[in-house]
Amino acid sequence: ARDPLVLGIESTCDETGFALVRGRELLVDVTASSMDEHARFGGIVPEVASRAHLEAFVPTLTEALARAGLELGDVDAVAVASGPGLVGSLTVGTAGAKALAVALGVPLYGVNHVVGHAAVDELVDGPFPERLLALVVSGGHSSLLLVNDIATDVVELGQTLDDAAGEAFDKVGRLLGLPYPGGPHVDRLAREGDPDAIPFPRGLSKGRELQRHPYDFSFSGLKTAVARYLEAHEDSGEPYSRADVAASFSEAVADVLVTKTLRAARLHEVGTVVIGGGFSANSRLRELAAERFAEAGIELRIPPIRYCTDNGAMIAALGSALVRAGVAPSPLDLAVDSQMPL
Ligand code: KG4
Ligand code: ZN
């Protein structure tokens, strides 16, 4: 029998995404973003994001169906990211998903957005091996997941205790006077600098802190170290290189992410690592991961960037995995959870 057609809905932050997946085949993926409306505020404004989801919901869904040459009546199940994320944004997507599920008489699956960032890789690189690690890094999350079964058994080994990797880049971008979101600008500047110029701290990477938090991350101390370095040089008038600051900062973030992931891969005897989330665009992370995982004989999978930033395909992919695994649908009074654990 043919796998069911799963509609995936993403609305956790500033992207409204719809995708249709059958089995592990992606039929269409359409994303609308309200990022342009937030840029002038220097950060996501939750109420602006919620309103944008409300406005984009039906047009984006309609466009996805039209591009796939399908109708709403073809949909066999609806999956929606019900957390983690912004409450208002989650509520718009989840309310819309419920309305569709009720009207179509099909099951509803509330899924975890962070797990979705890993699940989408199956649509691109094929079925997952028995066990793998997923490093999900973006402006909102930095999590290391042990994936025994993407539908039923995902364990969070660690996460950031303060800033997410992308968030740290955005804050350092602001310190360096770069436009928001600063991540890609800091990345570009870093390409011109010396990554070994300044020994910025690697959070939770030594001694007791490492023992207590082997797979957790912390980037706020690093951000503070960058701020102090800039202040000290501006106060004293001593010349410094902004590119060296960007490069040394990028090196510290990439080094910690890759070193901890590699350590977990060895301990759990995992042969495959997936990196997802918008921060996977970072060029130093990509280089260092490619280099060190190749040395260790570990397969590295990074989906194309359009499937790493928030999108509907990741939610449809996870919904499809739940359907195939025979997991029970969610109740129709499904709540949203801004802090949703795994
Ligand atoms: O996944 P995403 O699009 O949105 C969130 O869910 O957060 O991730 C965007 C984050 C932003 O913080 C952005 O500055 C950062 O990822 N980012 C980068 C790069 N591209 C995006 N950070 C560093 N280097 C990049 N090339
Ligand atoms: Zn995300």
pLDDT band at 169 (very low <50, low <70, confident <90, very high): very high
pLDDT band at 48 (very low <50, low <70, confident <90, very high): very high
Closest atom of ligand 1 to 277 CA is: 1
Query: Tens digits of per-residue pLDDT, 65-80?
Result: 999 999 999 999 999 9
Binding site members for substrate:
136-140, 170, 183, 187, 282
Question: What burial class does residue 199 get, using C-beta atoms within 10 Å of its C-beta: 0-12 exposed, 13-18 middle, 19+ buried?
Answer: exposed
Rounded distance, CA 44 to CA 12, Å?
A: 12
Domain at 5-120+311-325, CATH homologous superfamily:
ATPase, nucleotide binding domain (3.30.420.40)
Phi, psi of 107 (to 5 degrees): -70, 150
Closest atom of ligand 1 to 281 CA is: 26
Task: Note whether ipTM > 0.95 here.
Answer: yes
* pTM of structure: 0.97
Q: What is the torsion angle, in degrees rounded to the nearest 10, for the CA atoms of residue 62, residue 67, residue 70 and residue 72?
A: -20
Task: Give, for ligand 1, the residue of 169, 250, 257 to mutate: max count of ligand atoms closer than 8 Å to Cβ.
Answer: 169
Q: What is the torsion angle, in degrees rounded to the nearest 10, for the CA atoms of residue 90, residue 310, residue 102 and residue 337?
A: -30
Report pLDDT for 62: 98
Residues in contact with ligand 1 by the CB-under-6-Å rule are: 13, 138-140, 166-167, 169-170, 181, 183-184, 187, 277-279, 281-282, 309-310
Helix 165-175 to helix 183-190 angle, to the nearest 10 degrees?
70
pLDDT at 1 over 90: no
Comparing 5-120+311-325 with 129-304, is the CATH topology the same? yes
Mean pLDDT of 298-322: 98
Ligand 1 atom 1: residue of nearest CA: 278
User: Which stretch of 33-47, 72-86, 216-230 has the lowest confidence by average pLDDT?
Assistant: 33-47
Query: Tens digits of per-residue pLDDT, 274-299?
Result: 999 999 999 999 999 999 999 999 99
Mean pLDDT of 311-317: 99
Residue-range domain boundaries for the chain? 5-120+311-325, 129-304
Rounded distance, CA 262 to CA 144, Å?
A: 11
Q: Which residue has the higher pLDDT, 39 or 228?
A: 228
pLDDT band at 187 (very low <50, low <70, confident <90, very high): very high
Pick the CATH number of 129-304 from 1.10.10.10, 3.30.420.40, 3.40.30.160, 1.10.760.10: 3.30.420.40
Report pLDDT for 27: 98
Closest atom of ligand 1 to 310 CA is: 1
Rounded distance, CA 114 to CA 340, Å?
A: 9
